[in-house]
Structure 1
Amino acid sequence: MSEPFSLLLPVYRGDRPDHLVTAFRSTVHEQLRRPDEVVVVQDGHVGPDLASTLERLESGSPVPVRRLRLSHNVGLAQALQSGLAACRHDVVARMDADDISLPHRFLVQLPVIEAGADLVGAAVLEVEETDVRAGEGGVLRVPPTTPREIAEVARWRNPFNHPTVVYRRSAVLAAGGYRELPLMEDYWVFARMIADGARVANLAEPLVRYRVGAGAYERKGGLGQLRSELRLQRRLHDEGFTTPAQMVRNTVVRGGYRLVPTALRRRAYRHTFTTTAATATASPELTLPVATDRNRPPTGGRPVPPSARTTAEEQA
C-alpha cells in the first residue's frame, strides 16, 4: 500500500541559492513519485539572496512546503531533530541543500519502506561542479546492501550515504534521534538504529548526485574532527555497539586518518570507496530486510563481528 511521506530539507546561511534551487527541483518537481509535503528547516538567519530563493521555491512548489525557522544556528543534529518533529508523516526522506536527486529516486525507495524496511539508502555519484554542468561524470560510491553486510560494516564506518536515506521517523526516535556530533551525527543515529533492531537496506543503484566541493575532504580532517572521532568511538563502545578491540582499531586507523594531509586523505578515500561511473556495473537485485523484533538486534543482542577491512574513512 502506498504511504504518504515527508521530505526533510535543512538549510543554513552557508548554502548556495543556485544549488538549493537545483536540489529542490530535482527532489520535488522532477520526481516520478513526489513527496506529500516538504519541511524546510531554516537553521538560523540566512542572507537576503537565500531567503528570497526559499520564498520563490515555496510559492512555486507543486506540493505543500512548510518552513521551520529556528531563531539561531543550532547545527545539523538539532535542526534535523526539530524537522522530524514538524513532519506530518512517519515516512521521511532526507535531502541536503546542494545535492541532486535522480527522477526515479522515491519511485524505487518508497516500495522498500512499504515492504517493511525502517531505513533504506542508496549509492551516490560524487560529482564536482564541472560534472554537474556537463550532466555526466563523477565517481560511484556503493554502500553495503544486505542487512547483514550493513550490520558488519557499521562496526567500522557509516554504512549509509546520509543524503540518500528514507526512514521511518518512529524508528529514528526509538533509537534516540539525532544527537550532536559534528559531521558524524548521521553515523551515530544509524548505528543506534541497527542496535535497536531496525530493518535496514541499501540500493546499489546511485539515486543522488552528491556534490563534492573543494573543501569536502579538508572538512573530514583536523583536530576538531579528531575530537569528534574520539567521542564517537567512546560512545559506540559504551553503548555496546563495538567491542574493545574494535574501538582501539577504529580509534587508531580512523583517528589517524583525520590527521593526514588533505591530498592524501582524498586519494585514500577515492581509491578505497569509489569507482568511475563509466566502469560501474548494474545494480544487483535488492534483498528486502527480514522483519525482526524492534526491541532486539537481529544478531540476538550481540554486535556482528566486523569483516576484515583495511580502509580508512567513513562514508559521508
Structure 2
Amino acid sequence: MSDVTLSVRGLRKVIGRRVIIKDLSFELTRGEVFGFLGPNGAGKTTTIRMLVGLIKPTAGTIRICGLDIARQFTKAMSRMGCIVENPELYPFLSGMDNLRHFAVMLRGITRERIDEVVRLVGLEERIGDKVGTYSLGMRQRLGIAQALLGKPDVLILDEPTNGLDPSGIREMRAFIRSLAEKEGLTVLVSSHLLHEIQLMCDRVAIMAKGEIIRVDTVQELLASEERMVWRLRPLPLGRLILSDLTEVLSADEVTVTTVYSERHAGEWSRRLIEAGVSVMEMNRKLPALEDLFLELTGGESID
C-alpha cells in the first residue's frame, strides 16, 4: 500500500477571468499532520473546498489513496473525513443519537464502529447527553467522531481549535497528534494559530495569492532562517569584521545579527578575538513560524 494518501497535481481554479488557484501540487503521506497556512485571500479555503469535493477544480487532479475524485468520486470520498468550518450537529439530540443519525447515511457502519469512535475521541462519559450541553471542545470532538465513522485514511480539519480556550487547544493538539501517530491517519489542518501549527504539524504549506510558496518540515522551514546574534565589544569594529566574513542582517546599539553557520561560527569568533574584539555573547536564534510566515507572505496577516 502506498504511503501517499492525498496527491494534488496542477490544481487550478478560475472564476470568470480571475485565477483563484494557480497550479498547486503537493502530496500527503500516511501518519503525518500537515499544516495549511495562508493569509486572507490566499485561496486556502477554496483549495480545501476542492479537496473535499464541495467545488470542482478548473484543471488538475486530486487523488485520495490513488482514487481520482473526478472519475471515482464516491469511492474517493469514502476514504476522506472532513470538518469544514463548524461541525453540523443537532443540539437537541444526544451525542450518540447524532452519530447514529449520520451513520445511516453511510454504508456498513455498525454499532461497534460507533462505540469505537466514541472511545477514540474520549466522549464515553458524555455521549448520552444532549449536544446542547457540550462545551465547544466536546462538540469539536463529536464532529471529528462523525468524520471518522467511515474509517477514512485522510482527515481534513478546518480551524479545529477555533474558539477553544488554551486548555482546549492543548487537548485538541494532543488528540490530533494521536490520530496520526496511533491511528495512522493523514491529517490536514488549516489554522490561523501559527504557534499551534508549529507545535502540531510535521510539515507545513504556506500559501499566498493562489500559490504554494513553501512546503517543508517545520524544522527545515525555521532552520533556513536561523540567525546568530552577537554581543561584541567594541561593537563597531566587531560589526566591520563580521561584514567581511559573512552577511550582516541587522545591527543595533547592542548586538549584531548575522546568518547562522555552525561550520563557520568558531572561525568567525576566532577572527574577532584576534582583532581585539571581545565576544561577550553569541546566540543562535531560531525564528518563530509567525516571523517566517510574515516574511514569506510580505507581511500579510493570516485568516
Structure-2-length-normalised TM-score? 0.26
Higher helix proportion: 1
Higher strand proportion: 2
Higher Rg: 2
